[in-house]
Structure 1
Amino acid sequence: MKKVVAPKRLAIAVASATASVFVMPVWADGTEETVEQNAIQVVGRAQSLYRIEASSMATRTETELEKIPQSVQVIPNELIEDQAARKITDLYQNIAGVNAFSYSGVTFRGFRQDEILYDGVKGDPFNGFAVPQLFNIDQVVVLKGPAGAMYGGADPGGLINYVTKKPEYEENRQVEVAIGNDSFFSTSLEMTGAANEQETQAYRLGIYNASEEPFRNNTDEDNTIVDLGYRFDFSDETNLVLQYTDIKQALGGARLRGVPVDDNGSFLTDINWNHNEAGDFQDLNAQVVQARLKHAFDDSLQLDLTTRYFQNEELQNYHEPRGLVDTNSDGIADFSHRQFRNQKRENEGISITANLVKELSVGDTEHVLLFGGDWYRHDYKANLRTAKQQSKDGPVPGLDLQNPVYGLTSAADYSLDTLTPTLQDTRSDRYGIYLQDQIALTEQWGLTLGARYDKFDDEDRIANSSFKDSDVTYRIGTTYNINDTFFPYALYGTGFKPQSASSQSANAGGPFEPETSDIIELGVRTHLLDNRLALNAATYRIRRRNILQADPAGDVNNDGTDDLVSIGEVESNGFELELTGDLTPNWVATASYAYNDARVKQSSEQTRNSVPDTDKFANAPQNTFGLWTRYGFPAIDSSIAMGVDYVDEQFSLSGQRVKPYSVYNLSWQTEYQDWLLQLNVKNLFDKEYASSGFLSRSGHFPGEPRRVYLSATYNF
């Protein structure tokens, strides 16, 4: 039978299949794949390249996943393309144990988290309230649980790392156009290939723009990304990759809060309702420069050095909900007080990370030794002005929930220049050194030992205060290969996270001790039915201490700063199950289930938790489930896919119920010569639901109604 080669597609169809695809890290592939003539390219590729064989995220060395004693999940570029995901929120349903909290923040194994890494280092250009885009992202890698031994201060639920697209020598050029309801329109151009005849230099050029008018009143969105890269191969042993990214994100009618609900989680008005005026906005301008140098001294000794610099400026003018009122005494809130916030935030950060890896044999054991260090400096400035609501003798009017009348007021009516701003100016320095030994005790049995020393130095230049401290974290893990079918592992690790520099102010009750955490995790990875079925399971217990919460008493000392208090200890227990199977040569299915129970175990006298009258954490559903199945039609080079996402009951920060929901999705793909046509339908049955909750005054975040997208990608 004749063989054909299916070219790798670099297209990012700018639509959301939003199916619950959970990646089983089993197999990896290169840039091409050989398939039978009667096996269509779209389906054949999905069955192989969704599975990733190795990752450097957990150990900073390229390691087979079966030899990593910790849960790691990889979402590859092929899955991002097939789901047509365009922003990180489109991918949360793919990650077991993760669900939306607010903006780009998530609940990760029961804990709220915001921080992310790029190429394994700090420097998030979307730092703040912007939502990261995926145009220049090749993989999303998720390391679950505290990761202090490798990455220092971080959230205990885990780390999300974006692997950026790099220049490649294999030539790929493509242009894509996508349209959809809510006035969605996007275009993109991506080109990469050799820059000289000797193929010692390569380039990457990416340009992307997408605009839409989402379902909330007064909102519009425009994203533009220019992504450039250049690679120098000075020799077979040494290469340098330079990257530059320019990001512009303009969100009209933002910063966007939720829609008010009653205590049972039912919306009090239409989900289109928006507390903001048409002139409100949230604008982000960011630039990133990154350089990565790799050098191999010999086959057993390698060095890599990464420097990343970013800066961003975020401007926000928006009306903030400040309380609900029942104006007609019928027992149902129908009016929202509002204040107006004029805010400017500036972030600037630089990181330097160096790793030296040595492979050696000691007796009958094989070792991969890692010695590394990193430094990160983050400067933050803010200028914040707030105009009060009319109910507190301010100029800002409220807004009716049922019959909102927009356009009667704007920033020009609030005499902002006469308001005294709140200024913030902080500098945070992080220093770390770490050592790791990956030991092959036998062909089946592996041991991973790691330790890290961190020092942090925070300065509040407005309060003229500083806080310094240090900590040591470590990790002990083991893996075992049982007959190449079952790969159990066990882990104990610790982590810590310094409190933010602004939280250390004496006016807020500081300084506060850093958060600390630890994890016990047991898991097994499996290859079943001649590798047609992959089943991964993990159970864990995470303990987290010294979490800061707002003091219910507010500004205790009447010094203009709301006070903070520390919750003593929170414990998160959970179980995760991920399944992927090739049911037939043309039929693939994936499924995932996650259970989590996070509760306050020890508390301060002032407060037990931000969720009133309970020891549970906000936006932490106990059960989530996802299923995605896809069938190919070889005769017409097409495939159809359907999926369902289920999220259990949650509670908001104010203790209001967030109802459980199920959302169904549909996708169709067709390839013809150099074209790829893709249709995606999100929320197929147009279900009304809330993805997460916040405060009662700001409401729940409504999920998107039905969205339909059509994209066409041409490779040339």
Structure 2
Amino acid sequence: MKTLLLLFFSLSFFTINAQNSSIKGRVVDEEGNPLFGANVLLSNGDGTMVDENGKYSFKNLPSDGYEIAVTFLGYEKQTKSIALEKGATKIVNFTISTSQENLQQVEITGRKARSYKNELTYAATKTATPIKDVPQAISYVTKEVFADQQAYRVNDIVKNVSGVNMFSYYDDFTMRGFRSGDTYINGLRVVGLFGPQPLLANIERVEVIKGPSSAMFGNSIPGGVMNRVTKKPLAEDRKSINFTLGSFNTLRTTADFTGPVNEKETLLYRLNLAYENSDSFRDLQEFKSYMIAPSISFLPTDKTRINFDLVITNFDGKLDRGQPIFGASAGTDLNSTPISFAINQTNDFQKSDVVYSTLSLNHKFSDNISFNASYMKYLFEENLVEHRTSNQFAIDGNGEQIPTQMGMQVIQRQRQFIADNLSSYFVFDGNTGALEHKVVAGFDFIEQKQPRGAASAFARGYRLQNGGVSSNPADFQNFLLDANGNPVPNVPHFNLDDPTYNVAQLSDYTFTQSASSATRYYTYGFYIQDQIKFNKWQVLLGGRQEYYNDIVNVDQPDEETTTQNKFLPRLGLVYSATNEINLYGTYTQSFQPQGLAAQTNPNVGGPFDPVTAEMVEVGAKGEFFNNRLGANLAVYYIENNNILVNANEPGNPELLRQRGQEESKGFELDINGRILPNLSLTANYAYNEAIISESDNPNEIGLRKENAPLHQGGFFGKYTFIDNKLEGLGISLGTNFVSERNTFSSELQLPSYTIVDAGVSYKVDRFNISFLLNNVFDETHWVGGYNYVRLFPGAPRNYLMSVGYSF
């Protein structure tokens, strides 16, 4: 009987296995080279990667009909249908060709790639140009890096960009030693949000165009322009949802849906959603936000593309002004207060709404002429109540600072900003003899205004003996004194030794009302640019005439306008040394008009010349490992002139002076992409010496600029196992380091730091589970800072765990 049973099970086993079938084959390019790392996907959801010999295989498949799709970055997708019989092995080979997809002039059709590497930039030249062919350093971080680092805000990912570091907790950075200025979305300037950090849920990538870029963007800072590229609809169905839990009571969820609306794929959609409710390692700080971001693309013909984006974001939390420490007279000790220490009160709040919409059009009149236009309307509203430092320590009855008592003020504010941005240009493609030309000629218009109705109320200073309050040191003899003989503050001092948090009674303070008059500035420019190609050489020639107009007391009898104009040239040269490596050099300028207050207020000592800068940069760009990995090396020198600083005149605190010159020089390296099909990497390093080079104050010359580290860099890599035993398991490891930085207080320096992050993930079927541990060794560090009363510590050790599903 046992023998019969054994025979029965043996026959059953062989019968079952005999019915299992397999598919195998090779994937090569048009020249027969194996495409190591290409993705092969079966219609039943199974997928694999091509090995170094170009081979792939699927085993133990039931007999059925299958579709096999092969995709690889830079190559056309290819699909084959087969019928698989019981017990059969089907050999299916693929020869796929490089992609000949016509690159649109404006970024309307979304990026399909799923890689740390990005191929193209639009903002740098106004045309779809390979980054390798742009004669200027461009760093970027893609949404795939966002996902693997579980990043939620822009501040979470700047560590991946060479030469860029946080200046504070706000939308506020240092680029090549210069503090950032305006914010750009899809190459269009919007209102800079100095408070809430922008969310990443609807962002495809963040790119930084290094150095002066005024020839393309008008007035801008010399360090660079940070551009946020939003996700666009795709012509293929992709849907995903993600849930994240973590330290500090973090709860986040995001969703991303995209695909065609009709069978002809002429109408595409995308919808991004995000929600967060979390606390912080900082006392009393919290984050409540949501985002709704629908997008529609309409492609009625192969010559016309139209896209509409709408983004609605709400922020509800508190404005974190940073960590105060004991005053200098108590010794410089960054640890005199804990990094969690904040000085808000319980009922403070910052509520803000950001809404913007963009309409973009691309139309090809012929193979040689196309027209592009983008218009964005951007609205920002804020309602704020905050207890914050008065930027000085408390004083005693002798007028001396009390280093453990923080002077305080309360601000109530309601305001609105509106921005309109129009970019329009023609692109002409043609030849003159052996020269290939791509000419861009266009007009930009930008307007930002604060309409009537903006108002603030301030409670600050010390109470006077006869009633009222004053912040003027000249009134010290008239200050009301307490039982200990110390001045009585309007807003109680904050005891750094023994903090107290309450529901503040705003009615106890004396407020000064401050209505803000309507303001407006607008700037417009005409520009022309020619990208010339001859054999291995490419030349970029461009120029822009910019007109900047600043208006105060809008629509009032005393309305006043200041106009500043500037012509801005641009020159770049690219040489293709090999098929993989391009060498380049560039010369650019930047221009920043002085604000109207600095030009017209008689107390400040103006008018002043505009801030102007110029840059010389040389470098090399390469693509390696079958174009899977991109690298950029840049060496640069930037000279910035006519910087306004406070003159520190005791009799006139408003007086400004124009410091002579600042300079920044150094080199940077960025690497992004895949070394192996299952090993992704982003790495960067920057050496930057940013100093004050000329000044009417000899003591300033040679000082390093604030929050400008000499060294910074790091890497982040993810390795995914593809063998049968560990298939789907991923391990990630990253580190970033920043050297010492100066603050606005000459004796206070922020120490260097090195942070290590590590994670593990597992992908099974359509689920992806990931765990990330940030700051593994719990290093205390500061990402930026102003002075003793406002430092910005980085987060201690924390974790994030997410579960995602794609369908």
TM-score by length of 2: 0.79
1:483 aligns with 2:578: yes
Q: Which residue of 2 aligns with 1:256?
A: 321
2:602 maps to 1:537: no
In 2: Cα distance, 1:492 partner to 1:701 partner: 35
Counterpart of 1:87?
153
- Name the counterpart of 1:339: 409
Counterpart in 2 of 1:617?
Answer: 705
Match of 1:569 in 2: 661
| Candidates 647, 652, 671, aligned match of 2:738 | 647
User: Do structure 1's residue 387 and structure 2's residue 387 form an aligned pair?
Assistant: no
Matches for 1:641-680 after TM superposition, within 5 Å: 641-655=732-746, 656-680=748-772
Unaligned runs of 5+ in 1: 10-26, 38-44
Residue 344 of structure 1 and its aligned partner are, at CA, apart by 2.2
Cα 1:347–1:584, aligned 2, differ >3 Å: closer, same or farther?
Answer: closer
Q: What amino acid is aligned across from residue 58 of structure 1 in structure 2?
A: A
Distance 1:409 1:389, change over 3 A: farther
> Could you tell me which residue of structure 2 aligns to residue 550 of structure 1?
646
Task: Give the counterpart of 2:278 among 205, 212, 226.
Answer: 212
Instruction: Give runs of aligned pairs for residues 250-289 of structure 1, distance below 5 A.
Output: 250-252=316-318, 254-260=319-325, 264=332, 266-289=334-357
Counterpart of 1:17?
Answer: none
5 Å-filtered alignment, 1:259-658, equals 259-260=324-325, 264=332, 266-322=334-390, 323-324=392-393, 333-380=403-450, 382-390=454-462, 394-407=489-502, 409-416=504-511, 419-442=512-535, 444-461=536-553, 464-506=559-601, 507-527=603-623, 534-553=630-649, 556=652, 562-579=654-671, 586-604=678-696, 615-634=703-722, 635-655=726-746, 656-658=748-750
Residue among 102, 105, 108 paired with 2:175: 108
2:141 aligned partner: 75
CA-CA distance at 1:212 after TM superposition: 0.6
Q: For residue 70 of structure 1, give the secondary structure of its aligned residue in structure 2.
A: coil
Output the amino acid matched with 1:99: N
Q: Which amino acid aligns with 1:385?
A: A
Structural RMSD (CA): 3.0
Shift of 1:625: 2.2
Asked whether the 8 Å contact 2:706–2:742 carries over to 1, the reply is: yes
Q: Give per-residue Cα distances to partners, 1:170-192, cap 9 Å, x unaligned.
A: 12222221111111101223222
Match of 2:795 in 1: 704
Identity %: 27
The C-alpha deviation readout for 1:63-82, integer Å capped at 9, x for no partner, is: 12222111012222222222
Give 1:407 deviation, angstroms: 0.6
In structure 1, how many angstroms separate the alpha carbons of the residues matched to 2:803 and 2:598? Answer: 48
Distance 1:675 1:624 in 2: 36
Alpha-carbon distance between aligned partners in 2 of 1:60 and 1:473, rounded to the nearest angstrom: 16
Alpha-carbon contact 2:117-2:629 (below 8 Å) kept: no
Q: How does 1:228-247 map to 2 (within 5 A)?
A: 228-247=294-313
Other structure's SS at 1:456 match: strand
Q: CA deviation at 1:632?
A: 2.1
Rate the CA distance shift 1:683–1:547 in 2: closer, same or farther, 3 A. Answer: same
Alignment partners' CA distance in 1, 2:650 and 2:344? 26
Any conservation in 2 of the 1:265–1:658 contact (CA below 8 Å)? no
1:5 corresponds to: 41
Moved more, 276-285 or 257-266: 257-266
Instruction: Report 1 or 2 for greater relative contact order, CA contacts < 8 Å, sequence distance ≥ 6.
Output: 1
Contact 2:715 2:734 in 1 (8 A): yes
User: Among 152, 159, 175, which residue is 2:218 paired with?
Assistant: 152
Q: Return the TM-score normalized by structure 1.
A: 0.88
Structure 1 or 2, whichever has the larger Rg, is 2
Q: Distance in 2 between matches of 1:196 and 1:582?
A: 35
1:20 aligns with none
Structure 1: distance between partners of 2:687 and 2:793: 23
**Alpha-carbon separation, structure 2, partners of 1:587 and 1:285:** 40
CA distance in 1, matches of 2:640, 2:733: 38
**Does the CA contact (< 8 Å) of 2:116 and 2:682 recur in 1?**
no
Quote how far apart the aligned CAs of 1:47 are: 11
Number of residue-to-residue matches in the alignment: 676
Partner-residue secondary structure (3-state), 1:66: helix
Change (3 A) 1:438 1:259: same
**Alpha carbons of 1:90 and 1:30: their partners in 2 closer, same or farther (altered >3 Å)?**
farther
How far the C-alpha of 1:290 sits from its partner, in A, is 1.0
Match of 1:134 in 2: 200
Cα offset for 1:138? 0.8
**What SS does structure 2 have at the residue aligned with 1:49?**
coil
Partners of 2:626 and 2:727 lie apart in 1 by: 29
Measured against aligned partners, the alpha-carbon deviations of 1:49-68 in whole angstroms (never above 9, x if no partner) come to 22222212221111122221
Write out per-residue CA displacement over residues 529-567 of structure 1, whole angstroms, 9 at most, x where no aligned residue: 7667654311100011122223322772x8xxx333322
Q: Which residue of the other structure, out of 255, 263, 283, is the alignment partner of 1:189?
A: 255
In structure 1, distance between residues paired with 2:735 and 2:161: 14
Checking the alignment, whether the CA contact within 8 Å between 2:176 and 2:688 is kept in structure 1 is yes
- Cα distance change, pair 251–31 in 1 and its aligned pair in 2 (3 A): farther
Question: What is the Cα deviation at residue 202 of structure 1?
Answer: 1.8
Counterpart contact for 2:688–2:711, Cα < 8 Å? yes
3-state SS in 2 of match to 1:694: strand
Equivalent residue letter for 2:613: S
Instruction: State the partner residue of 1:23.
Output: none
Report what 2:241 is aligned to: 175
Which residue number corresponds to residue 96 of structure 1? 162
SS at match of 1:298: coil
**Paired residue type of 1:684:** V
Q: Call closer, same or farther: CA 1:339–1:223 in 2, change over 3 Å.
A: same
Is 2:733–2:756's contact at 8 Å kept on the other side of the alignment? yes
Q: Residue type matched to 1:638 in 2? A: L
Is structure 2 residue 132 aligned with structure 1 residue 66? Answer: yes
Gaps of 5+ in 2: 1-23, 26-38, 46-71, 80-91, 93-110, 464-470, 472-487
Contact 2:116 2:674 in 1 (8 A): no
1:580: how far off? 5.3
**Separation of aligned partners in 2, 1:31 and 1:497:** 45
Q: 1:676 to 1:50 in 2, by over 3 A?
A: same
Q: How far does the alpha carbon of each residue in 1:194-223 deviate from its partner, in whole angstroms, 9 at most, with x for none?
A: 223332212222221101110111111111
- In the alignment, the residues of structure 2 paired with residue 479 and residue 156 of structure 1 have an alpha-carbon distance, to the nearest angstrom, of 22
Return 192-201 or 423-432, whichever deviates more.
Answer: 192-201
**Distance in 1 between the 2:680 and 2:232 partners?**
30
